[in-house]
Each structure stands twice: as C-alpha cells, then as structure tokens.
Chain A
Amino acid sequence: MKDNKQPILEIKDLQTHFKTDAGVVKAVNGVSFTVNKGETVGIVGESGCGKSVTNLSIMRLIPSPPGKIVGGEVLFDGENILDLPESELREIRGNKISMIFQDPMTSLNPFLKISTQMIETIRLHEKDVDKQEARKRSIEMLKKVGIPAAEARIDSYPHQFSGGMRQRVMIAMALSCNAQVLIADEPTTALDVTIQAQILELIQQISKDFGTAVILITHDLGVVAGMCDKVCVMYAGKIVEEAYTYELYNNPAHPYTSGLIQSVPRMDTQNKQKKLFSIEGQPPNVIDLPPCCPFHPRCHKTMDVCRCALPPTYEVSEDHKVNCWLYASEEEKAKAVADAAKENDK
C-alpha cells in the first residue's frame, strides 16, 4: 500500500481563524498534510490544539461567523474544496467525504427515525434509488456495523439506542454512500472502553473492505498506534511532527511528541511504582501568539532561538518531518536569533 501512494486529500497551509472579543483565535494556523488512498492518518494533540477545527474546515463546516477559513487549500482529487460553490460542495459532503462526529448522543436528529435519516442520506446523493431500495441498503449497512435485528430497529428513534449503537448508526450513515474519505472526529471519546474497541475495529474493517481513507482525530496515542499508517502531531494550531506510525513511536523527534508518548501509561515497562510522566504547564492561548516556538515554555530542551523565532520544518528522515530548532544547524540558529534581535530594535 505504501508503495502505491496516490493522494486523495491534500491539505496545504490551511488557516482557520475565529474572531472573538478577546482577539483573533488562530485555531488552525498553517496546517499541511496529505492523505493517500486507503490510508489511515491519525491527528493527535491536546484539547484545543485545532484538531477538530482542521477537519471541520476540510468540510467547510466551520460556523461562520465567528469562524473563517482565511487561507490555504484543501485539494480533493486535485480540486480545491475551499473554492467550490455551495452546490458542488454538497456533492462532496456526505458523498465523497463523510464525517463521524465526536458525540453520538447529540449528532443524530432526535426527532427523526433512524430510517428517515439513513434513507435521506442515500437518496440525497443517488437520486435514482427509490425509497424501498434505499431502505434495504440502510438495513444492510446497519447489519454491517453490527446492529442486531436491523430490520426492526431501523424504525427506532435515536433515543431508543445506546451510545455505542448510535455511533454505529453514524458510521453506517457515513459509509452508506461509499465515501472515499472518512473523517472520524474522536469517534470513541464519548463511549465506554469496551465499545471503543469495537467501534475502532469497525472503522478499521470498513476502511480495509472499501478502501476508504480515514482521518482519525484523537488524543489517545494507543488508538493511533493500533490503527494509523501515518500520524500528525498538532500543537497550537500547527502540525509539529509528521511521520509513519512506527517511526514516530520509535524515534519521536519533537520534544512534545516524546512527552506525549511518555505520558501514556504502559503495562510492559519496569518501575511501575514510578509516577506517570506528564508535560508541565498548559497549552498556550492561541490569541496573539508571539513569533516563537509555541511549545518552548513547556519544553525541557529550550534554547535561545526557540524564544525568538518559529521553527521551520526539517526532515529528520524520509517521510518524517518535524518543526523544531533541535534539527537546525548552528549558523541557522544564530541567524534566526540575529534576525529577531534586528526586528526588536526596529
């Protein structure tokens, strides 16, 4: 799979800002990554780092106002989604790219039957399918995601389903049009642990069966390790490290990534008495970030240069990119410090 890489979704320098009374929140501030066909990409990071906003921006679902996509490109099959008119955008939404949301309890319409909501999704994108046919397909999808007695239960209302079942319905609905990209925004956060595993396995299975590319947003590194081909680590609206999963876990290049990995409790290590590692401090406020590495106040490898300039992207090995001054040459760092000093004098 990795040899035959064909990009299906390319995000280039995406910027989404929110206007608030306190100032402009740069929730997504220049994010770029590529999703290849059939690949599963994980996006990890702490709460508020811009994971969800990135993915809502891909679908142009940012509530506006106050949010606005101010720059960048989202190329789906070479076409920039951000430039499409509403009508063509609707052709992509739910049809070619579909989404599973974080909270299954509130993401289904409580006033409409499951059948209504599923049938309308199919008929929305395939106009020639009649109601009976769409219903049949919906039942099949429900069976595929493991809803028992799907024929009878399809006419239930969402409140008659448990959280895990509702998330299954969401997945069934998202996949009923054979989307090429599935965006799963923390699909298991609201569910209990046993259901989590089932849902994740289901997404993995479906991705394999249909060749669907998956963007999995999560803050659970364990989930990422088990599911994703590639991982993007986000911090303060930017991707700070991007690599294949195996590489990332074995050679984390960014201090933030290694911090995240260390803060996952493990059963197989020695010293179980030792206190679990945690990254000191809080993520920065993304309003009016100074031009410096946003992670430097929490980093244990901070250098002078981190305080005065944004780190550029370095390639530590093939397909392993990181934004950190640790990988810069001495001259480069000296130059950045000097430039910042000049800027300050002005």
Chain B
Amino acid sequence: MTKYIIKRLLGMIPTLLVIITLSFFIVRVAPGGPFDGERALPEEVLANIEAKYHLDEPVLQQYGRYLFDVVRGDLGPSYKYVDNDVNYYIFTSLPNSAVLGVVAILIALIFGILFGILAAIYQNSWIDYLTMGLAVLGISIPLFVIGPLLQLVFAMKLHWLPISGWYSTGEGYSTIILPAISLAFAYFATIARLTRSSMLETLRSDYIRTAKAKGMKNSTIIAKHAMKGAMLPIVSYLGPAFAGIITGSIVIEQVFRVPGIGKFFVQSSFNRDYTLIIGVVIVFSVILVVMNFLVDIVYALLDPRIAY
C-alpha cells in the first residue's frame, strides 16, 4: 500500500507537467492577446509592456521561465489585474469556493444517499417517485434559475436568510446556506440516482439473499451487507465532482456575490490573461489529480478485492 501511494504521488508530477505544457501553448494559440483592446495601444507602450512580462522573448524561453517559476510556487503576475499576482487572486478566492463547495457537497451527500436508499428500499412507492422527481428537477433546472428562485422565496418573501453576500466580508455565516443549497441541488440529484440504482442492484444480489436466508433484519442487511457495495459508484463519482464543486461556479458567485475562484476561470479566458488561465488550470488539475488518488485509496479500503 505504501509503495502504491508513493508511486501514485510520483506519478502526479508528469501528469501535471503535461497539463501545464499543453495549457501554456494552447492559450498562446488562441487568437488575440492580453493587451489587445478596442483601441490599439501605441507601439512603444505595447513593446514596453511585453518586455516587462517577457512576452517579447521566444516562446520556448518564456516556457522555461514559466516552468522555473511554477516549480518555485510562483504562478506569475496577472496581466489584467495588475494590483496583485496570480497567487494572491487564487489563494484569496479558492478558500471561499472551497467552503461553499464542501458545505454543498455535504448537503448533497447526506440527502442524496438518504433519499437514494429510501427510494431503493421502497421502490415504486411515493418516496421513490418523490426522489426521482426531485432528481429530474435537480438535473434539469439550471443554477441561474434555482439561485434566484431560492432568493425570492427564502430571502425576499420569508426573510429567513440573507439574499446574498459572504461571511468573509462580515455578513454572517448564514450567507453560505442559500448558495450551498443551490449548488448542491444538481449534485444531490446525481447522487440520489446513483445511490438508488446501485442499492437496487446490490439488494438483488445473491449475497443479500444469503443474508436474508440467515434470518437477518432488513435494516441490518442494508447497513451491514449492502451499504459498502452500494457506495462504490458514489465514491468514484465524488472524486471529479468534488474537484468541480470546490473550484467554484461563476453563476453562483454572480447570483450570491460570493468572492470565489469561479469567476477567474471565465474572466481570465476572456482577458487572455495567460498566467491566470494557466494558474487556475493548475489549481484545478492538482485538486482533480489528488481527488482521484483519494478515490482509489477509499476504494481499496471499501472493497477488499482491490489490492495494490
């Protein structure tokens, strides 16, 4: 196991290197550059700026310089948000998105698994139909509909929760609830569906029949015999889902004024802010690679047939 873990951790290095390299060159292939605007800058100004950011050097030299900086943990200056560098923007916004994401995924997990199991146990009952109905809604209603809808009901009409804002700017922790619920809905839908189908499949398996033939209670059978096997698909879904959810969502951030990292994914591309683009890509990749690694470890812990 230890050997496997070390191997996997070392394996992340080439993966990330490939990702950095690809994104470094792909952003430069896209038409336009960071300093193209409505009005063309005077040539001298442009030359000065490019010289400042080393954009006048040959691409390979730029690549080497960038790689050298990244290894030292420096993601470089942002070309558009000139007050600070990429590190600053990422590390001030990522924690907010992460907090929101973790709360959202917890909500989605707890309710998704609960409803999914109940729907499987009471297949074709009202709770099954309710769960599947909610799941269809969750998957089909876009964030920009569900967000404002929740604001309308719980903030404008009922005045239970703040309409928007974020706790880090002193607006209270209750600001997390509405965006987390909005964000959780789609994940809840997928988790509930996955849990239901995998629980149904597990409950039909031979070893569950054996447990029944031994005279075990249904509740014990679910908890002791069926849960582990039924959770495997959820675990594999959670890896990428977690990476996606904690790296923010621009829609949620706009609707609820959350100072998250999601907006940088979109803004940086519009701005051709090369360093910021690659910066958020690196952050996302690292999280994704780590999550997939954790998923594999959890998998081995759950399923004794998997040995590394």
Which A residues form the contact surface with B (CB < 8 A)?
59, 61, 63, 65, 89-95, 98-99, 101, 103, 106-113, 120-121, 124-125, 157, 159, 170, 173
Choose one: A93, A103, A125, A157; the contact of B213 (CB below 8 Å).
Answer: A93
Q: Could you tell me the distance in whole angstroms from the C-beta of B307 to the nearest C-beta in chain A?
A: 10
B232: nearest residue on chain A (CB-CB)? A111
Give Cα A99–Cα B204 distance, bound, in whole angstroms. 17
Q: Could you tell me the distance in whole angstroms from the C-beta of B13 to the nearest C-beta in chain A?
A: 33
Chain B interface, DSSP helix/strand/loop, else mixed: helix
Can you report 17 residue pairs joining A to B where beta carbons are below 8 Å apart?
A59-B213, A90-B216, A91-B215, A94-B214, A95-B215, A98-B213, A99-B210, A99-B213, A106-B206, A106-B207, A111-B302, A113-B304, A120-B214, A120-B216, A120-B224, A157-B304, A173-B214
A93 touches B212 (CB 8 A): yes
B214 touches A111 (CB 8 A): no
B303 touches A94 (CB 8 A): no
Q: Could you tell me the distance in whole angstroms from the C-beta of B304 to the nearest C-beta in chain A?
A: 4
A159 touches B213 (CB 8 A): no
Across the interface, which residues of B come within 8 angstroms of A170, CB to CB? 210
Known contacts A110-B305, A111-B302, A157-B305; A101 and B215 CB within 8 A of each other: no
Across the interface, which residues of A come within 8 angstroms of B215, CB to CB? 89-95, 124-125
Across the interface, which residues of A come within 8 angstroms of B155, CB to CB? none
Q: Could you tell me the distance in whole angstroms from the C-beta of B222 to the nearest C-beta in chain A?
A: 13
Q: How many residues of B contact A (CB 8 A)?
A: 22
Give Cα A90–Cα B124 distance, bound, in whole angstroms. 25
A111 touches B209 (CB 8 A): no
Q: Could you tell me the distance in whole angstroms from the C-beta of B211 to the nearest C-beta in chain A?
A: 7
Interface centre among B206, B224, B229 (most CB of A within 10 A): B206
A107 touches B210 (CB 8 A): yes
Q: Could you tell me the distance in whole angstroms from the C-beta of B282 to the nearest C-beta in chain A?
A: 37
B221: nearest residue on chain A (CB-CB)? A109
B217: nearest residue on chain A (CB-CB)? A90
Choose one: B124, B210, B216, B302; the contact of A108 (CB below 8 Å).
Answer: B210
Give Cα A108–Cα B209 distance, bound, in whole angstroms. 10
B225 touches A63 (CB 8 A): no
Choose one: B204, B206, B216, B303; the contact of A107 (CB below 8 Å).
Answer: B206
B304 touches A159 (CB 8 A): yes
- B 33-73 contacts with A by CB, 8 A: none
Give Cα A101–Cα B209 distance, bound, in whole angstroms. 9
Give Cα A63–Cα B123 distance, bound, in whole angstroms. 12
Across the interface, which residues of A come within 8 angstroms of B205, CB to CB? 106
B228: nearest residue on chain A (CB-CB)? A111
Across the interface, which residues of B come within 8 angstroms of A125, CB to CB? 215
B213 touches A110 (CB 8 A): no
Q: A92-B215, A111-B303, A157-B305 are in contact. List 10 more A-B contacts (CB 8 A).
A: A63-B204, A90-B215, A98-B214, A107-B210, A108-B207, A109-B225, A110-B229, A111-B302, A111-B304, A120-B224
Choose one: B209, B212, B214, B225; the contact of A112 (CB below 8 Å).
Answer: B225
Interface centre among B206, B215, B217, B303 (most CB of A within 10 A): B215
Give Cα A106–Cα B209 distance, bound, in whole angstroms. 10
